[in-house]
Every structure is written in structure tokens, then in C-alpha cells.
């Protein structure tokens, strides 16, 4: 959430920063609301000050007057009651304005970093580097063709169980998924992350805190009888884990890793990636999350990205690092580095992790602070996939495919999977 004070005092600056996202943001209404709110705050403060002075006068009058029903005392009490009524009326106006302002501001995205490439869409993203040697050959199979031939997963029966874009992993497919989850969790915990296993159902406040609500309500699945949603990513409960807390600066940075199932409607993506493991309504992911001192978040962004890269390198999967332009940034992100893994069948790189620095955007929405120079200050949050499991499996199947129809398992994964190759049952 953006700073209400900045919106009130410098709306032109806010609109200028938001315009870097490639569209025009008119915050005139929000600015007017914040100005009105400030006027009411001042009025309430003034009335409360006068009311306190009057309370002292009433106390003095009671002490010096033998008659508690004296005209002077009654007049003072009457005036005190008038102050209380006025304060109550203004506080109700304040409450309504607070709600209106929060609703309006919660729809505004984060400011893009000045260091992010300027651009309107993904075509303006900048490739920073590549790693590994992409497999390029004729007659390469797609991961879903490999999965079918090795009986790793089933989509048709899954459609009968639920609907399209769900999948059931079978035998070695389920085993490989489990091996990847355990491998990633072990790698990250050895690298200083504390593992959490969070709820799969989260409330609306948690989704608001991380930035999924209200803007992306159509992307998530909601339980009709409760204020609960299926979590679209562990980023949501991890953000909410320290909601309304003041964290001791000595504890920073706090680094969490969490495996979780993720649920997304994928609204607007129908017709894309209808086969295989790339775009499902339910998928597994290992998430990395940092809470850090604001002065350290740029350094932390490089480190969280490096930690996600390390998994790809250990799995021997070719990838590229992409600096996301201002017009393609996620709602809560100020700057994002995408990791895109090579998929030989489509002869292109596909996103497997987005590592984002959200600055104080989520912390402000979730009231998560730390002490800096004895003052309560919003800390910075960062998140990144470490990695998306289904897409990692797809990349292993395609990059490890052999001429005899088997798939070579990366050496680092063999102790978790228990074999060097996936073969026809």
C-alpha cells in the first residue's frame, strides 16, 4: 500500500511514479479524500484538547463548590457533553473516510523501481544472462508426451474428478514431485531459511496484505460459506505470519521457505498451455520469503534470486535471468527478476520463478514494522519461487530425455528419487 501522507502532500509525485507502469493513474479523488481526512483529524484533535481543558475546569468547580447542581457546574457539564457529541460525530466521519481511503489506495500498485527497465509489456524485458547449454535437436518430445509414455500423470481422469487443468500424478510422477519438494526444502534450509508449513486456506485480510485483494479476486477460489480462500501462493500466509507485529531489528533478516499447494483460476489464460504441467489450477511450489531492514533490501533481492538460481544449477537446467520492465511488473513488486527455464520442445524459455522486492508495500498493508533509530518503521519484504515444482518437472523431463525414451535424473536429485533414470514401466 502506498503512503497516505505522500498521496496527500504530493499527488503529482505519486501519479508520476505510477505512470512508469505504462498507464495513466488519476488519483484526484483519493487525494481529495486524504485532504478531507486530515482536516477532520485536526478538528478531532482540537475538540479533544478543548474537552480536556473543560474536564479540568469541571474538576476545579466540583472541588470549590458545595453544590454539585450549581448553575456554573451544570453549564460546564452541558458544554462537556456537547464536545463529546461533536467528537463522536467527527470520529464517525473519520471512520467512513478511513474505509473509503483504504479501499481506494488498496487498488493502487507499488511504485516501480527507478532501476527497473522502462517499458510497456514483456517485449521490453531485458535479458541479463543465460546459464547452461540449451538442448536443441529435431524430433524432441514435449513433457506431456514423455509423461504419457512413462505413465507419470493423468489428466483425462482428473477432469472427471474435478475439471480441466487439474492433473493426477502417478507412480514415478508422484515420486519425482515428492523428490523435488524435499530436495528444494533441504537446499534452502541448509542455506539459512527456516521452513514453515502454512495453512492452505487464508482469510481476506491476508490476501489484502500481500496484494492479491481486492484487485485479483477473480484469480482465486473462495469458499462460499466462510471468509476463506484457497491460497494462490505461500507468499500470502508468509506475509500474514507477522501481521500487526513490530519485529526486533536484531532478528532481521528473517528468511522463510515454505512448500505449499497453490490454487489459481488462471482467468484469461484459456487456450494457453492446455496440456501438461505448465498452467494448472492446482500446483505445488516451494516459496522463499524475506523480511529485512529497508537499507538491506537491494542486497537481499540479489541474494534471494541467487538462491533460486542455485536450484536450477544443481538440477543442471539451462535458464536465463530477465529484468522485468516497469510495465510488466506484478502489482506488489517494485522490481522483479524472472528466472526462465529452457523447454526444448517449444524452443523457448518459460518462467519458473519470479523474485521480487516489494519494498514496504506489503509491510504497510499488513502493519509489519521494525525499530530504526527508536522509531517504528515499515520493513521490506521480498519473495521468490524456489521453485515451481510442476514446471521444474516439465523441464527435467524435456531436458533429460534420451533416445531410448527414458529420462536422465539430475545427479543432485538421485539421492531423493532413488534412481538415475525414469524408464517405461
pLDDT tens track for 64-111: 766 666 777 778 778 888 889 999 999 999 999 999 999 999 999 999
Q: Examine the domain organization and report whether 91 and 130 are in the same domain.
A: no
On whether both 94 and 128 belong to a single domain, the answer is no
Q: What is the CATH number of the domain that holds 183?
A: 3.30.930.10
Q: Which residue has the cell 501519479?
A: 15
- Domain assignment present for residue 117? The answer is no
- The residue out of 105, 138, 158 marking a domain boundary is 105
Same domain, 296 and 415: yes
Indicate whether 110 belongs to any domain: no
The verdict on 337 and 256 lying in the same domain is yes
- Flag whether 114 is in a domain: no
Query: What pLDDT does 78 receive?
Result: 84
Residues 205 and 329 in one domain: yes
Residue 112 lies in a domain: no
Q: Do 94 and 230 have their domain in common?
A: no
Same domain, 287 and 142: yes
pLDDT at 272: 67
What integer pLDDT is reported at residue 70 of this predicted model? 72
Question: Is residue 63 included in any domain, yes or no?
Answer: yes
Report yes or no on 115 lying in a domain: no
Is there a single domain that holds both residue 317 and residue 208?
A: yes
> Against a cut of 0.95, is the pTM above it?
no
| Residues 215 and 321 placed together within one structural domain of the fold | yes
Q: What is the pLDDT of residue 61?
A: 67
Last residue of a domain, one of 49, 73, 105: 105
> Do residues 81 and 193 share a domain?
no
User: Helices 28-64 and 71-105, interaxial angle, to 10°?
Assistant: 160
Q: What is the number of structural domains in the chain?
A: 2
**What's the confidence (pLDDT) of residue 66?**
61
Q: Do 34 and 135 reside in the same domain of the chain?
A: no
The answer to whether residue 111 is domain-embedded is no
**pLDDT tens readout for residues 130-161:** 999 999 998 899 999 999 999 999 999 999 99
pLDDT of residue 367: 97
Low-confidence ranges of the chain (pLDDT < 70): 61, 65-69, 267-272, 425
CATH of the domain at 62: 1.10.287
Length of the chain: 425
Are residues 159 and 130 both part of a single domain?
yes
How many Cα atoms within 13 Å fall on the side-chain side of residue 226? Answer: 8
Domain boundary at 47, 76, 105, which? 105
Residue 178 falls inside a structural domain: yes
* Residues spanned by the domain of 354: 122-422
Taking a C-beta distance cutoff of 8 angstroms, is the pair 328, 24 a contact? Answer: no
Amino acid at each position: 500500500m502506498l503512503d497516505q501522507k505522500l498521496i496527500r502532500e504530493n499527488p503529482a509525485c505519486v501519479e508520476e511514479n505510477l505512470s512508469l507502469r505504462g498507464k495513466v493513474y488519476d488519483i484526484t479523488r483519493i487525494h481529495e479524500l486524504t485532504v478531507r481526512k486530515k482536516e477532520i483529524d485536526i478538528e478531532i484533535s482540537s475538540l479533544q484538547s478543548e474537552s480536556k481543558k473543560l474536564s479540568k475546569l469541571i474538576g476545579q468547580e466540583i472541588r470549590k463548590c458545595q453544590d454539585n447542581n450549581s448553575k456554573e457546574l451544570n453549564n460546564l457539564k452541558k458544554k462537556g457533553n456537547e464536545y463529546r457529541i461533536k467528537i463522536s460525530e467527527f470520529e464517525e466521519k473519520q471512520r467512513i473516510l478511513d474505509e473509503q481511503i483504504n479501499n481506494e489506495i488498496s487498488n493502487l500498485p507499488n511504485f516501480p523501481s527507478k532501476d527497473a527497465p522502462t517499458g510497456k509489456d514483456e517485449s521490453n524485458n531485458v535479458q541479463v544472462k543465460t546459464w547452461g547449454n540449451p538442448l536443441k535437436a529435431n524430433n524432441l518430445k514435449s513433457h506431456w508426451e514423455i509423461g504419457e509414455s512413462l505413465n507419470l500423470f493423468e489428466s483425462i481422469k482428473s477432469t472427471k474428478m474435478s475439471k480441466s487443468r487439474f492433473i493426477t500424478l502417478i507412480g514415478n510422477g508422484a515420486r519425482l514431485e515428492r523428490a523435488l519438494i524435499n530436495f528444494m526444502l533441504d537446499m534452502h534450509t541448509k542455506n539459512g531459511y527456516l521452513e514453515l508449513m502454512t495453512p492452505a486456506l487464508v482469510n481476506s485480510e491476508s490476501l489484502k496484505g500481500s496484494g492479491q485483494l481486492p484487485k485479483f479476486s477473480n484469480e482465486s477460489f473462495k469458499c462460499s460459506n466462510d471468509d476463506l480462500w484457497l491460497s494462490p501462493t505461500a507468499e500470502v500466509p508468509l506475509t500474514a505470519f507477522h501481521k500487526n507485529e513490530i519485529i526486533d531489528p536484531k532478528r532481521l533478516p528473517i528468511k522463510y521457505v515454505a512448500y505449499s499447494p497453490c490454487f489459481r483460476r488462471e482467468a484469461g489464460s484459456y487456450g494457453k498451455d492446455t496440456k501438461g504441467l505448465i498452467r494448472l489450477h492446482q500446483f505445488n511450489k516451494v516459496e522463499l520469503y524475506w523480511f529485512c531492514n529497508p537499507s538491506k533490501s537491494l542486497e537481499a533481492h540479489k541474494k534471494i534470486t541467487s538462491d533460486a538460481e542455485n536450484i536450477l544449477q544443481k538440477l543442471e537446467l539451462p535458464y536465463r535471468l530477465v529484468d522485468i520492465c516497469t510495465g510488466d511488473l506484478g502489482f506488489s513488486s517494485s522490481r522483479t527478476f524472472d528466472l526462465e527455464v529452457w523447454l526444448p520442445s517449444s524452443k523457448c524459455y518459460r518462467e519458473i520463478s519470479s523474485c521480487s522486492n516489494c519494498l514496504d508495500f506489503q509491510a504497510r498493508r499488513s502493519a509489519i514494522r521494525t525499530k530504526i533509530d527508536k522509531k517504528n518503521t515499515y520493513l521490506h519484504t521480498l519473495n521468490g519461487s524456489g521453485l515451481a515444482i510442476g514446471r521444474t518437472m516439465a523441464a527435467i523431463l524435456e531436458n533429460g530425455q534420451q533416445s531410448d525414451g527414458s529420462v536422465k535424473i539430475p545427479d543432485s536429485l538421485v539421492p531423493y528419487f532413488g534412481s538415475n533414470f525414469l524408464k517405461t514401466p
